[in-house]
Structures are given as structure tokens and as C-alpha cells.
Amino acid sequence: MSENVFEVDHLGLYYLGRFGDKTHAVTDVSFSMKQGEILGIAGESGCGKSTLVSGLMGMCIPPLYPESGDVRVKNGDKMESLMNRDIEDVRANVLAQQVSMIPQGAFNALNPVRKIKDIAADVLKAHARPGEKQDAKQIYDRVYAHFDRIGMDTKRVLNSFPINLTAGERQRCVIAISTILLPKMVIADEPTSALDVSTQKEVIKMIFDLLDKGIFQSMIFITHELPLLYHVADNIAIMYAGEIVEKGTAEQVVKDPRHPYTQALMGAMLSTEASQRGRHPVAIEGAPPSLKNKIVGCRFAPRCSKACPDCKKNTQNLRIVGDRDVRCDYAK
Amino acid sequence: MQSDKPIVFSAKRISKDFGAGKSLKTAVKDVSFDIYDEEFISIVGGSGCGKSVLAKIMLGLYQPTRGQFLYRDKPIKNLKDHWNEVQSVFQDPFGCFNQFFTIRSQLEDALNILKDKPSKEEVRRRVDEGLKAVNVAPADIEGKYPFELSGGQMQRMLLARIFALRPKVLIADEATSMVDACVRANILDYLRKLKDELKMTVVFVTHDIGLANYVSDRIFIMHDGKIVNQGTPAEVLDNTNEPHTLRLLDDIPEVHKTEWIKNSHRSKK
């Protein structure tokens, strides 16, 4: 039994509005990760996935504030808390070295007027230890060595501007840059959502390649494509309206979903199987609830096909159903 | 496929070049096809295969460099007349709406393109109808601006515009690639509804062969500027030997595939 490398303990985050109103984007999220684990987080747009990422990185930049709970990262031998700390301190000591992030939309993440090698060099310069002197050649050598190690065409790619690369290459550059300081863990926020299926597969291949080479060990992979998560992740957590509604192994959650929301998500997926051609994917009607107001009862109840009258009254808690956590009193 | 319906688009060996000399790039190479009335066609291919260029040729935004492209037996000359009958839905709904005007005013403006301009009440009624067709209560978007809605809702607004305009042909260029999986099923239903209820010809451009399989009457698979495979979903998908089709099928992560990717990290079950 290996130790946890990442712990999230009843994390709650809210956005402060202009008039002092709070939008509780994330409520009561808890999970822990072991060394080498890949955790997938899935959910609709607007269910708090990207806010959760900011929280996990300890980057609670106003108007986002932590409400409750804690995020702890293993740093050396001890677990280090990321909450209620100076952001610059977190940035200098934890981010990119312990935990790094692969952002969504590679085109927005890269500076369009700088070459890839300069963007990568900036990361190294920004994370230089105090007092550490690096000359330009050393820095570029490190950049070349890293890109070489992960199997990219260094000569061409590093001397290109982002505009000259294809979408897939850009995304791979972003992944290379975010792992340049060899973080223990990577949080990938929809790394493939803007790519076509073939490029997506190549990017996922690259991520596995990095894992094999030991460049990073653990990963949180966020996406709305459940079938993709099934192939990538060990464990999957499904989010809805800021809460985790189901959490289990990939096999359990995808093949045998127990929460009505997960079941509905799986029902909305398409298939190319010949036997499935007549099957009609069923969209979930409606939209996730607004989190501006306090929600009483089950958050999914208004859209749930199996909702009982008291679902709207009783707050649902995570409970264990068939070896996984489900936030539904009626799940079997 | 032979059909007794009239031909909407007819392409005879069309090519489209970009650039010249050393940087010459041919995006569409010698493509021929016929699209019949009331058909649901999907054009499937990876990025850079020329599928969007083909869509733009259909919209009259590009002229083919070589070959002959006809819309209902005539070349496309007057774009305004063409857009009276051929309309499109694009990938990024936020890029399609002006952030400074309300959604309703923009939907109403869209009807200005029609030749016989409807009266003010008629415009209002048709926009309301369009909104109802995509399950949005007109009161919900009253006075709202594009940035106040989510991506999925905005994509529906684009479709509401189509329901209000009622063109004869719809070109949907990657209309579902920016929205998440649950909304995607919804958008596909609406596209299908356009075809079934309003008798529209729909050309759906996508990179996901799974979507094409679900909605289309005929599928064109494109690779490197050429149509490499075409036919009904059953013909294209089942027992195909065409390598590009196989690759597209192979790359979709699906639950029923036992090993989509070599995953050495999955703790063995």
C-alpha cells in the first residue's frame, strides 16, 4: 500500500460576486491519490471541473475563494497544504515542480509572438531557485534535452512560432513545457477537447509515453468524454453541479454506472458499433442548476428520470453502493 | 446512390489551390459528387483534410480553382441570393454573435437576408418559432446578451436562427465539436429534425465518424483533399477495408473496445 501523494479534503470553493453574493462552484470534494494513479474527472460543462482545477493547484485568485477544506501535496516526506497560502509562495515552491497543469486550449496557452524554445525557457527562468544562476546556454540546453527526451523534433518545433505548428503539435508542446521541471503530478484540464480523434489519440499516446519514461507519475485527467476516460483513467469521479456524484474504478463507473446522472451521461454517448446503429442517444434535458442560490435536496433531481418526491427535500450524501461511492439514496 | 430527387450540389472534378509556386497547397483534389434534395450528408475526416474548404465552396465563400461546381444546375454567382437558400452553422457560436447586441435582435436581423422581407410581427413570430423548435422559451433569452449564455445554449441559438430562416440547405461545419457530450446528442436531434420536418438538405462536416454514423443518410470520408470512401453508414462502416476509414473508426475511444490504446499504467484488473 503506497502512500497518498495528493489529498483533497472536503474542498469547497466559491466565486465572490460584485454584490457580495457567493457562487459555490465546488462543494465538498474529497479524494486522495496514490503514487502512479490516474484519476479521471468527468462532467458536463459548467459543473465545476475547471474551478476544481484552480483549487487543486492552490490558485485561488479572487474572485475565487476557498470556503472550506484542504488540498495537500506530498513534498519530500511530508504533506504540504496548498490552502490559505500566499500564491507566490505556492507558485515558487510547489507548482511546476510538484504539481503541474496542462491547460485547455493550447493555442491560448502559448504566446503567439515567441518561439517555443523561448516560452519553455521562460518557465525555467521563472522557476529558478533563489540565488541560482543559469546562463542562457544552460537553459536552452535543458529545453532541448527535455524535448529530445520526450521524442519531439527539436530542431523544427523549438524554432517555430505557435502559429506554424499544427494543433496536435501545439498541444504536445504545451505538455512538454508543463512537464519541463519534472513534476510528480500533472493535472490535465481537457487536454484533447479541441482536437480531432486521430490527433487526440496521438496526444494520449504521448501522455502515456511520458508516464512510462517516469517524467511524471500521477495524473488527474479532466474531460467530458466518458469513453475516453474509460481508456485512460484507473479511477473515475463524476462531477455534477460542483459535487462528486459517483466515484469508483473506470470499469465500475463506465460499465455499470449506479448514479442516475452517470447512467444518463452514458446514455448520451454515441457508438459506431453496428449493433448499436438503431439505438438513440438520449440527451439529458435541461441544464445544471445555478449555484448562486443554496440548493436544497439532490442537485440532479430536477433532471433525473428516477427522482422521487423526497429527492428534492433530502440532501444526498456519498454512500457506498457496490464498492464505489454514489451520492444518491436510491441507487442500487 | 441514385435518387429520383433533384440534385442540389453537383461537383465535377473540383480542386481548390491555396498559395502559388513553392507554397502551393491543394486543399481539395479532383473531387466529384452529387448531393440530392433532402439528403443528410456527413463529410468526415481529420484536421486538414479539406472538409471545411469543401463546406466553404458549397457556401460560395470559395470558388473552386478547377472543375465545375453547380448549385441546382447553376454556378454560384450572387452570394446574397445563394445565402437565401443555403445557410450554415459554425463551430464556435461565440464567434458568430456580436457581443454588443442582444441575441434576439441578432436573430431578428438574420431574417433581413430574405428576399421577400417579412413584416415586423412575422419576424418576431418566426424567431419565437425558431426558439421553440430548439426547446428554449422565448422569455428565457429576452434581453440577454451572448456572453450570458453557455456554449451549448449559444449553439442552440445558431440552430434557432436556422429554424427561423428555413433555408433549403444547411451546411453545419463542426457544429458539435465545441459542446459537451450531452448537448451534442441534443444538437444532433435538432439537425435531424431540420431534415425530417422542414425537408432540408443537411451537409454535416465532422471529424467524429460516430456522429456521422448516427445521423446521416450518406457519408463521405475525406483524406488529404480526396473523397476516399462514400456510401450509406452501413456500407462505409461495416466490413470496410479502406485504411483511412479504419483509422478514423479505430481512433474513437469507445467503451466496447478492449484496448484502444496501450495503457501500461492501468492497474491490471
ipTM of the complex: 0.80
Residue A210 identity: L
Is the torsion defined by CA of A12, A17, A22, A24 positive or negative?
Answer: negative
> What is the domain count for chain A?
1
pLDDT of residue B208: 84
Domain of residue A16 covers 4-108+183-271+279-326
The count of CB pairs under 8 A between chains A and B is 133
In a domain, B264, yes or no: no
Tell me, what CATH number does A13's domain have?
3.40.50.300
Rg (chain B; Cα; Å): 20
In a domain, B262, yes or no: no
State the average pLDDT over residues B21-48.
Answer: 90
Would the pLDDT of B249 be above 80?
yes
Strands A64-75 and A4-16 come out as antiparallel
Q: What is the pLDDT of residues A124-170, one digit of tens each?
A: 888 887 777 788 899 999 999 999 998 888 889 999 999 988 888 89
Residue A83 identity: M
The verdict on a CB contact (< 8 Å) between B47 and A201 is no
A224 touches chain B (CB under 8 A): yes
Task: Give the nearest chain A residue to B213 (CA atoms).
Answer: A272
A46 touches chain B (CB under 8 A): yes
In a domain, B18, yes or no: yes
Task: Give the nearest chain A residue to B174 (CA atoms).
Answer: A196
Would the pLDDT of B248 be above 60?
yes
B68 touches chain A (CB under 8 A): no
In a domain, A171, yes or no: no
In a domain, B265, yes or no: no
A199 vs B contacts (CB less than 8 Å): 46-47
> What is the domain count for chain B?
1
Q: Which long-range contacts (CB under 8 A, 24 or more apart) does A226-229 make?
A: A226/A42, A226/A254, A226/A265, A226/A266, A226/A269, A226/B181, A226/B255, A227/A254, A227/A269, A227/B252, A227/B253, A227/B254, A227/B255, A228/A192, A228/A200, A228/A204, A228/B253, A229/A40, A229/A42, A229/A254
The verdict on a CB contact (< 8 Å) between B265 and A272 is no
Task: Give the nearest chain B residue to A201 (CA atoms).
Answer: B251
pLDDT of residue B2: 58
Tell me, what CATH number does B244's domain have?
3.40.50.300
Would the pLDDT of A204 be above 50?
yes
State the average pLDDT over residues B67-78.
Answer: 91
Stated pTM of the model? 0.85
Q: What is the pLDDT of residues A85-112, one digit of tens each?
A: 888 888 877 777 888 988 887 778 889 9
In a domain, A218, yes or no: yes
**Contact in structure between A95 and A58 (CB atoms under 8 Å):** yes
How far is it, in rounded angstroms, from Cα B83 to Cα B170?
10
Q: Which residues pair with A102 in a beta bridge?
A: A188
Helix axes A260-267, B181-198, angle to 10 degrees: 50
The verdict on a CB contact (< 8 Å) between A231 and B260 is yes
Tell me the backbone φ, ψ of residue A250, rounded to 5 degrees: -55, -45
Would the pLDDT of A279 be above 70?
no
Task: Say how far residue B24 (Cα) sits from the centre of its chain.
Answer: 27
In a domain, A200, yes or no: yes
Domain of residue B173 covers 7-251
The verdict on a CB contact (< 8 Å) between B251 and A234 is no
Which residue has cell 462536416?
Answer: B205
pLDDT of residue B269: 40
Which residue has cell 457567493?
Answer: A22
Tell me the backbone φ, ψ of residue A69, rounded to 5 degrees: 85, -175
Q: Order across the sheet with A243-249: list the strands.
A: A99-102, A185-189, A218-223, A38-42, A235-240, A243-249, A324-326, A319-321
State the average pLDDT over residues A260-275.
Answer: 79
Q: Which residues of B, range 151-180, sit inside 8 Å of A by Cβ? A: 151-153, 177, 179-180
State the average pLDDT over residues B64-70.
Answer: 93
Q: Which residues of A, range 164-193, sit inside 8 Å of B by Cβ? A: 166-168
With CA atoms as reference, report the closest residue to A281 among A265, A300, A260, A301. A265
The verdict on a CB contact (< 8 Å) between B251 and A198 is yes
How far is it, in rounded angstroms, from Cα B122 to Cα B103?
17
In a domain, B186, yes or no: yes
In a domain, B267, yes or no: no
Q: Which residues of B, range 192-221, sit inside 8 Å of A by Cβ? A: 207-211, 213-214
In a domain, B268, yes or no: no
Would the pLDDT of B58 be above 90?
yes
In a domain, A317, yes or no: yes
Nearest to B264 among A198, A212, A232 (CB): A212
Q: What is the pLDDT of residues B143-162, one digit of tens each?
A: 889 888 877 888 888 989 99
The verdict on a CB contact (< 8 Å) between B265 and A211 is yes
User: What is the average pLDDT value for chain A, to the nearest integer?
Assistant: 85
Residue A161 DSSP class: -
**Contact in structure between A94 and A25 (CB atoms under 8 Å):** no
The verdict on a CB contact (< 8 Å) between A44 and B182 is yes
In a domain, A248, yes or no: yes
State the average pLDDT over residues B13-18.
Answer: 93
**Contact in structure between A286 and A302 (CB atoms under 8 Å):** yes
Tell me the backbone φ, ψ of residue A197, rounded to 5 degrees: -60, -40
Best of B47, B49, B182, B215 to disrupt the A interface (most A CBs within 10 Å) is B182
A275 vs B contacts (CB less than 8 Å): none
How far is it, in rounded angstroms, from Cα A74 to Cα A305?
42
Q: What is the pLDDT of residues A18-60, one digit of tens each?
A: 888 888 889 889 999 988 899 999 988 778 888 898 888 888 8
Q: Which residues pair with A13 in a beta bridge?
A: A26, A66
Q: pLDDT exceeding 90 applies to what percent of chain B?
A: 42
Would the pLDDT of B1 be above 60?
no
In a domain, B181, yes or no: yes
Would the pLDDT of B268 be above 70?
no
User: And the C-alpha cell for B243?
Assistant: 485504411
How far is it, in rounded angstroms, from Cα A125 to Cα B222?
45
Q: What is the pLDDT of residues B88-146, one digit of tens each?
A: 998 888 888 999 999 999 999 988 888 888 899 999 999 999 998 888 888 888 888 98
Strands B169-173 and B201-206 come out as parallel
Is the torsion defined by CA of A105, A150, A204, B247 positive or negative?
Answer: positive
Q: What is the DSSP string of A77-114?
A: TEEEE-TTS-HHHHHHHTBTTTEEEE-S-HHHHS-TTS
